[in-house]
Structure 1
């Protein structure tokens, strides 16, 4: 289980656009299609990563808690499916269904979107404000597999709350830790 940290894209970066297939709806989605009125969370995840599996229930809770408050959510998988077939689009559909995703789960076959976001690991979280500027990137919370800390989404929730209540988002942000994105050779 590799422990790869986020690359921590520069704050105030404008959300890179994408146009990717949604494995839940068989439609193609852009950033504008998934953005919320008050902000947008872009997550890089995959189906098999133990770090993602450890926090997936909290990810769903966070999305369900904040979607109704005008925060858009989207998950993207960029892994090489030739070498990691458990992350193939049909398995993504199954994973999203089994975990009751309320948001699109996009497949980044070319890996160009992950490169634009400078994504490094799964899970990796990015929060953009209503003007599509990056205000938070990094971890969901301090919980990791086998570290005994319960998942609560505190870091991401705190950033979203700051955005919603017009407070400054704390610029001291911890990188996420997870499995490296499985890049194509």
Structure 2
């Protein structure tokens, strides 16, 4: 299990555009504009097999369910090389989305260009943008990690989302996420 930290790109960075196939629906392709929320947008990089993702997936789904009805757009993206990691293949992404009750798109970044544009480094990697598509949070879900005994709360990410939704200040001192490295081609 790799312990890769997220790249802490500059706050204020404009959300990179994308147009990727949604594996949850299996047919349509979506852009950033399609998934953007009225009050903000959460872009997360995940995959099907990473132990860090599997550890937090229930909290991610709860966060999505709690906040999407409040005007937050949410999208998950998988950018892993499926030749070396076939467990992240598109058909299995569809299964993973349904098994975990995703109410948000799960996009496949086959070229890995979107991960590069976001400077994503690990799974899970979280990017929260405000209503003007400016990055306001890039960091960890919370302090819980597989095997460290700390319960999941989503406190760091939830605090940032609350800041976006309720026009509160967001602490610029953010802890990076940690997880498996993106499996580059």
Per-residue deviation, 1:167: 1.1
Q: Does 1:12 align with 2:12?
A: yes
Distance 2:43 2:165 in 1: 17
- Identify the residue that residue 175 of structure 2 maps to in structure 1: 174
Give the superposition deviation at 1:9. Answer: 1.2
What is the count of residue pairs matched by the alignment? 184
Q: CA deviation at 1:86?
A: 0.3
Query: How big is each residue's C-alpha offset from its partner over 1:19-51, in whole Å with a ceiling of 9 and x where there is no partner?
Result: 000001120000000010000000000000000
- Asked if residue 96 in structure 1 is aligned to residue 97 in structure 2, the reply is yes
CA distance in 1, matches of 2:134, 2:163: 14
Paired with 2:8 and 2:104, the residues of 1 have a C-alpha distance of 24
Task: Describe the superposition over 1:120-143 as per-residue Cα deviations: whole angstroms up to 9, x where unpaired.
Answer: 000000000000000000111110
Structure 2: 5+ residue stretches without partners: none
* Counterpart in the other structure of 2:107: 106
| Residue 66 of structure 1 pairs with residue 67 of structure 2 | yes
Partner of 2:51: 50
Distance in 2 (alpha carbons) for counterparts of 1:164 and 1:89:
32
Matches within 5 A, 1:13-162: 13-25=13-25, 26-162=27-163
Q: 1:92 offset after TM fit, Å? A: 0.1
Distance 1:43 1:9 in 2: 14
TM-score, normalising length from structure 2?
Answer: 0.99
Structure 1 residue runs of 4 or more that deviate by more than 2 Å after TM superposition: none
Unaligned runs of at least 5 residues, structure 1: none
* Aligned CA-pair RMSD: 0.4
Residues of 2 paired with 1:164 and 1:31: CA distance? 19
